[in-house]
Structure 1
Amino acid sequence: MTQTQSVAVIGTGNMGRGLARILAAAGHDVFLGSREPVRARQLATELGAGRVQGMGNVEAASRASLLFLAYHSNDTLLEELAPVTEGKVVVDISTYHEEPPSDFNPLTQVPSFESPQERTARRLPRAHVLGAFQVTWAQLFDAPLLDGCKTPVFVLGDHVGAKAELLALIRTLPFEPVDAGGLRQARTVAAMYFLVTRLAHQYGFREHGHDWRTSVRALNTLLPPALGLAP
């Protein structure tokens, strides 16, 4: 069984809050980082049953050996984090926040443009950058079981030891970790995310009585074969 870990969550949006809460519930000590430390401290009080502490981003990153970047990265913040992330596991959970070109076909193409995870790895060359939770809907942190089963979390990265550490950590949570290959595979994850969100928009999932669970089920079906994983 994985020991209690000290984990930093950088970001206080829906994903950051969900991660902090579920990590604390699993018994881990969480340092919640924000560019507004007062906001992080207030949120920590709401979330953590004593296991979540709020502070600034750099302080949070300096106090943990494993970090989740729960925000759309920007160069300024990555530059601030670089000195305190050397040798640490840094998990970028973000997806593309811009649409690809209109002629991009996610069924037949892997994006040629850099994924957020690859970008973070380039900006933090002394850290061990991984990808995970990119296609985890924030609502799943409140209700992790879907159709009575754990939802898979696809873990991507090139550093074997760092990946093993993250897989072990996710096993302490109500999710099913899946080793989905190297960091470049984050582009494939993005392609499937584009496909599902486009379908949701095109066919009006909500208008036809579906909600976010429809998209989760679609991704759980499409991603494993796209990543070359056995069914």
Structure 2
Amino acid sequence: MKINVVGPGKMGRAIATRALAGGHGVCVVHPDADPARALAEELKQRFPDSECDWSAAVEAADVTVLALPYDAALQVARSAGAALAGQILVDICNPIDFSTMDARLTPPDSSAAEEIQQIVGTEVKVVKAFNTTFAGLLTTGESHGFPLDVLIAGDDSAAKDRIAEFVRSSAMRPIDVGPLRRARDLEALGFLHISIQQPLQLNWQSAIKILP
């Protein structure tokens, strides 16, 4: 499948890496062309036989991943408009007030994914995924010899199936946790996972793993 990765930061780099490792085409998207071009060139050197390009705006694709903080993700959702119609839109953010690390930015009866779904409308299928994985481990797709678990929430079963396909092709394990409202729980879990990094000196090398 063709995947837009919006944002050339650590998470964007990691998700693009997994996509290319899984044999998918990637377009790195950023309004400032220089960082998007730089990341695309870096990835093409690592995956010389892959389809990897860059763009200043969201293009037609099967999937667009918003690898962005909450406020920036909302801005792209508002501005991308018709370019997102018919696509699966993956929200990966944890909407945390990073100035205090003491609160989430969404209403208590909502989530970042649900707020984005309201903005983009029903022609776009929003899926929550990757918010409980950290970039360093996501680059390799594993932790301590175990494939990473990617928890997925969404209201459209076909859209979740496509994201699960992407996750499996990238040597990770998808876990469907239910409808899009479960993004509230995933974002709470992501917040907790982030908040314990410093007290436990985990250095962003921990992963949430479901074991039988």
- The TM-score with structure 1 as length reference comes to 0.79
Higher relative helix content: 1
Higher relative contact order (CA 8 A, sep 6+): 2
Match of 2:203 among 197, 206, 211: 211
TM-aligned CA deviation for residue 79 of structure 1: 2.2
Larger Rg over CA atoms: 1
When structure 1 is superposed on structure 2, of 39-48 and 71-80 the one drifting more is 71-80
Residues 80/205 of structure 1: CA separation in 2 closer, same or farther (3 Å cut): same
TM-aligned CA deviation for residue 64 of structure 1: 0.7
TM-aligned CA deviation for residue 74 of structure 1: 4.4
Unaligned runs of 5+ in 1: 105-110, 225-230
Task: Tell me if 1:140 matches 2:137.
Answer: yes
Counterpart residue number, 2:14 = 18
Name the count of aligned residue pairs: 202
State the Cα RMSD in Å: 2.3
Cα contact 1:31–1:63 (8 A) shared by 2:
no
When structure 1 is superposed on structure 2, of 68-77 and 126-135 the one drifting more is 68-77
TM-aligned CA deviation for residue 113 of structure 1: 4.5
SS in 1 for 2:108: coil
TM-aligned CA deviation for residue 149 of structure 1: 1.3
Read off the aligned partner of 2:204 and give its amino acid letter.
W
Residues 35/97 of structure 1: CA separation in 2 closer, same or farther (3 Å cut): farther
Counterpart residue number, 1:170 = 167
Counterpart residue number, 2:23 = 27
Counterpart residue number, 2:76 = 77
Distance in 2 separating the partners of 1:195 and 1:103 = 11
When structure 1 is superposed on structure 2, of 76-85 and 146-155 the one drifting more is 76-85
Counterpart residue number, 2:196 = 199
Cα contact 1:38–1:55 (8 A) shared by 2:
no
What is the aligned-residue identity percentage? 27
Task: Tell me if 1:157 matches 2:154.
Answer: yes
Distance in 2 separating the partners of 1:30 and 1:20 = 7
Counterpart residue number, 2:5 = 9
Distance in 1 separating the partners of 2:52 and 2:4 = 10
Distance in 2 separating the partners of 1:20 and 1:31 = 8
- The TM-score with structure 2 as length reference comes to 0.85
